[in-house]
Every structure is written in C-alpha cells, then in structure tokens.
Amino acid sequence: MKYLIYARKYRPMSFEEMIGQKHVVQTLQNAVRNDRVAQAYIFSGMRGIGKTTAARLLAKALNCQQGPTPQPCNQCDFCREINEDHCVDVLEIDGASNRGIDEVRSLREGVKYRPIRGRYKVIIIDEVHMLTREAFNALLKTLEEPPSHTVFIFATTEFHKVPNTIASRCQHFEFKKISVKEIINHLSFITEKENIRISQRGLNLIAHAAEGSVRDAQRILDQAVAFSGENIGDEDLKEILGTISREIFSQFAGAIMEGNSHLIFQLTEKVIQNGYDLRYFFKELIQYFRNLLLVKSVQNPQELLFWEEEDIKNLKKEAELASSDDLLRYLSALQDREQGLKFSSHPRIYLETLLVKLCHYKKIVPLKKIIKELDSLKKEMKGSSPQGKFSPQAHSSTEEEDRRDKRSVSQEKRNQDPNKDSAERFQDIKKTKPQSSHRNKEMDEVLKDPTVKSFMDTFKAQIISVKETNKRKDS
C-alpha cells in the first residue's frame, strides 16, 4: 500500500475524534440529530485545525446509510467514498483556482439536479475568500434559496474578506486554535501507534513549533521520523526545527539579571555564529522571560508550562536572581522594542544596545523608594530644628509672628490718636498744592506766546512739561 503521511492517516473519521472543537462538534451533531441542518455554513480559523475535516464529517453524517446520524458508520459505501475522496455527491472545490464567475455559473447549474446516490449534494468550497466579487454576487440567490437537497460549506482562513451579504446567509463557526496540551496528547497517541520513541521535551518542542495547528505538528513529527528513524532525539529535533538551545537563553537572562553587560557582546556573537536569525532569537527570548515570570508568579507552573520537572526546577532557580517587578520590567521593555528590531537596518547593534541597557535596569531607583527617603529626611529635619538647624515650618511660623506684631503696632498707634493719620495726610496734600499751582501758572505764560498758540491750535497738542532744556553746545 502506498505510504500515507500522518496528517492523512490520522485524520478524524468521526466527530468524537475532532481535537479541540467541542462547540462546533456539539452544534453539528445536534443539528443532524434534530433535523435542523442549515442550507449553508462558514467554517473559519487558522490553518490545520479541522475546518475541511468537519465539512467532510458533516457530509458523511447527512448521507450515511445508517442516517442521517451524528455518528457516521465509516463502513457503508458512501462513507468509504468520502474517506477516499471520490464521492460524486460531495463536491470539494478550491476557491483559489476556481474563483471566477464562470465557475460559479457552472456550479449553480449543477446544484439544480438531485444527488446521484446520497440524500444530499454537499458543496465544499475551500478558501472561499479568494472568490471574486462577481462570483460572490452570483452565489447570493442560490445561497438564499438553495434546492432542498443541497448544503453549502465554506472554509476560510480570512473570514474578514468574505462579504457580509454572503456571511449573513450562512451559519458561522469560528474554529479555535489547538492548545499545546491537546497537541502533545495527540502526538503521544500517534507515537504509541507507530512505535516511535520520543521524550516529553521533544513532544513539547514539536507542539510549540506547530503554533496551534495539528496538521503542522503531524508534519513535523513525520519529518523527524524521516530524519532520525523511530528513535527521535532532542538534538535531532532542534536541528530540524532550527530551535535555539535553552542554555543560550539562560546565559542571556543570567547576564541581564546579574548586570554583566560585557557578556552580551560575546553571547550575541555566539548566536550569529550558529546561524540563528536575530529576529527569531528575540522572539524566543521574550518567551523565555515570560516563562521566568510565570515560575516566579504561579505556585504550580506545571499546569501552564509543559516542561519536564527538572527543567522547571532549573528555571525557578534562575528566576531567583530577580524580583517579579524586575522580570516584568524586562519583559515589557523587550516587547516594546520587538517592532524596532524587525525594521532596523542594523539588527545586531539594535539588539546589543537594548540588552546592555537591560543590564543596567536594576540600578534604576523606584519612585516609591525616593518618596520614602524624602519623608524620612523631613522627619530628621523636624527632629533636629531645636538644636539650631534650619526648619522650614519654624521659619514660616516666625515670619507670620513678625507680620502679626507689625499689624498690632500700627493698630495701637491708630487707637492712641485716631485723628493723627488724617492730619498727616492733609499736610502732605498741602505740600503738593503749591507745586501744582506754580506749574499751571508757567503753562499759562507759555501759551501767551503767539507761535506756541498757533502750533497748539494746528496740531491739537498738549504741554506736558515747561522745564527748560539745555541747548546742545557746539564743540
């Protein structure tokens, strides 16, 4: 028999075998059981999480000889034909290569006819967002009032590109990203069936590299078996995946937390010599600091960090070099600078500068500590003020007492002779009156001059001063 890759060999044959999509499975099973199947569905989500598989399972559930049933038998002719990809009543179309209006017109003509063998004609369009606008418009009427024997199932990784007019005519299911734990369990099942020996750390490496995609995890395992045979070592996996050793991240984290900035340049050179991409390294370094913060903050990190017990113990020991606040500060700084490294024309210099800066973060004094020291300094100044040292409060109170004394003295003077102040003011006015009358007399004399009078009438001028100005002497 021809060799089958793990992604095809271990494709779910029933709804119960679906991984991590309980909300979708339960809804579809209840719809088949209660005869509430919609005329069109949209399955959206990232790659390799079961969208097309769920569409095929629904087609089997609707056309199984034992059904319609939520548990297809996988024994009848119809189920076997779907499993082997040659069922005439289940049409699977690639939306990327059949995206024009002509293909959709042919499809509309085909759905008018009843299925040849089964109960329903199931049309599965993968990557439906690739259809043209005209093709989508041609589908509108067919989707709104399809023949009773036809069910449309659309699968897409980019739901936001599907027009609202199409989405509103379909039931939408958002497929979730598969968790690391569920991927590890699935890989353990495959390795047990295939008699493959691999460590828990190796399974964890594959699960993290898959980034939530079951198909990617199966592909990596297939590749590892082709590289190493049935005994897959951790070092072999690191070479296949291009994974950076945890020891390197541990050395970087230790240098940063201990403030050994001179080690940063040597370690960066080591990363470059090993051929690792600096942007990928930076991404994994952020993940490593996240793990340090996790083991520092959580009592049972084993539930969230799928590492071996010995690795977690070593990570906890390393996290003791810094406080939770320091780790959070490091992690925030790394995340804020990730975009800058991505677009930097000198990524090595950018990385080295940032990591050296992180080495000096522990020297930063928290604002809370500064305020506390200021408060203690104020208390010391208060306690030392009776011995002759400066006290701001004592100084301000003394000034206030002086002002009070001055006001009381002036008040006493007014009380002793209330008419004295008014008399003094009257004498001052009398002194100023002769001066003003003398000035007015001089102005009248000046105005008698015909020349001055003519000037005043012409320019409506006013005399401001009548003092004589010294004439400039010729040298």
Task: Average the pLDDT over 161-184 and give the result.
Answer: 92
Cα 426 to the center of its chain, rounded Å: 81
Residue 401 pLDDT = 58
Output the CATH code of domain 246-363.
1.20.272.10
6-174 against 246-363: fold identical: no
275 conformational bin, left if phi > 0, alpha if psi -120 to 50, beta if neither: left
Question: Do the beta carbons of residue 29 and residue 70 sit within 8 Å?
Answer: yes
Fold classified for 180-241: Helicase, Ruva Protein; domain 3 (1.10.8)
Q: Which of 81-85, 341-345, 359-363, 418-422 has the lowest mean pLDDT?
A: 418-422
Residue 386 pLDDT = 53
pLDDT tens string 405-448: 556 655 555 555 555 455 555 455 455 455 556 666 666 776 66
Three state DSSP letters for 250-271? HHHHHHHHHCCCHHHHHHHHHH
Number of other residues whose CB lies within 10 A of the CB of residue 303: 9
Cβ neighbours of residue 35 closer than 8 Å, sequence gap 6 or more? 68
| Structure tokens that stand for 168 in this block | 């509103």
| Structure tokens that stand for 313 in this block | 């113990």
| Segment (H or E) for 203 | helix 200-210
pLDDT band, very low/low/confident/very high, at 388 (cuts 50, 70, 90): very low
Q: Which of 122-131, 135-144, 301-310 has the lowest mean pLDDT?
A: 301-310
Whole-angstrom Cα distance, residue 110 to residue 150?
A: 10
Cβ neighbours of residue 135 closer than 8 Å, sequence gap 6 or more? 99, 100, 101, 103, 104
pLDDT band, very low/low/confident/very high, at 289 (cuts 50, 70, 90): very high
Residue 469 pLDDT = 47
Domain residue limits, the chain: 6-174, 180-241, 246-363
pTM above 0.75, yes or no: no
Task: Average the pLDDT over 75-83 and give the result.
Answer: 89
Alpha helices (H) in 365-419, listed in sequence order: 367-384, 392-416
Output the CATH code of domain 6-174.
3.40.50.300
Whole-angstrom Cα distance, residue 215 to residue 320?
A: 38
pLDDT tens string 5-56: 999 899 999 999 999 899 999 999 999 999 999 999 999 999 999 999 999 9
Whole-angstrom Cα distance, residue 378 to residue 381?
A: 5
DSSP 3-state assignment of 376?
A: helix
Whole-angstrom Cα distance, residue 81 to residue 163?
A: 33
pLDDT tens string 347-373: 999 999 999 999 988 777 777 777 887
| Structure tokens that stand for 443 in this block | 């102005």
Instruction: State the amino acid at position 394 in one-letter form.
Output: A
Question: Do the beta carbons of residue 79 and residue 119 sit within 8 Å?
Answer: no
pLDDT tens string 203-230: 988 998 898 999 999 999 999 999 988 8
- Quick one: CA dihedral 428, 430, 431, 433, positive or negative? positive
Whole-angstrom Cα distance, residue 257 to residue 285?
A: 13
